[in-house]
């Protein structure tokens, strides 16, 4: 067998392997983007439910305006968050504010 044929076969195998690896990485990047988009959809849905919750609880506890203001501020920050870190921070604030709302509702 000629050395040229061996080199061409090895080169073809390497090129095919790189193409497969590249396609695998592209697939992983697309899955990651899709997963973040799904998370954003669920967070948006959660943010849209907050005003209804606040209105429902307001009828039960008119004296707890600070808790409602905290939830409203946290929701506004969450809707404006762009980076993953900002979204995580905003989600923590919303969770803390919602805990106070639930405590008011249970009292």
pLDDT higher for 60 or 76? Answer: 76
Tens of pLDDT, residue by residue over 76-105, are: 888 888 888 888 888 888 888 888 777 766
Round to whole Å and give the CA distance between 64 and 67.
6
Torsion, CA 60, CA 61, CA 67, CA 69, rounded to 10: 80
In this structure, is the dihedral angle defined by the CA atoms of residues 83, 85, 89 and 94, taken in order, positive or negative? positive
Range of the domain at 67: 3-106
Round to whole Å and give the CA distance between 72 and 54.
8
Mean pLDDT along residues 9-16? 95
Q: Which ranges in 1-107 belong to alpha helices (H)?
A: 3-58, 65-80, 84-106
pLDDT, averaged across the chain: 85
- Of 89, 77, 83, the closest CA to residue 50 belongs to 77
| Total structural domains within the chain | 1
């Amino acid at each position: 067998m000629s050395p040229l044929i061996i080199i061409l076969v090895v080169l073809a195998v390497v090129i095919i392997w790189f193409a497969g690896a590249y396609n695998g990485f592209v697939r992983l990047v697309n899955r990651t983007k899709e997963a973040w988009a799904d998370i954003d959809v669920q967070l948006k849905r959660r943010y849209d439910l907050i005003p209804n919750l606040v209105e429902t609880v307001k009828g039960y506890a008119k004296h707890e305006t600070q808790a409602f203001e905290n939830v409203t501020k946290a929701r506004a920050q969450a809707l404006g968050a762009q980076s993953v870190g900002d979204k995580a921070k905003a989600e923590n604030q919303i969770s803390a504010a919602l805990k106070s709302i639930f405590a008011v509702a249970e009292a």
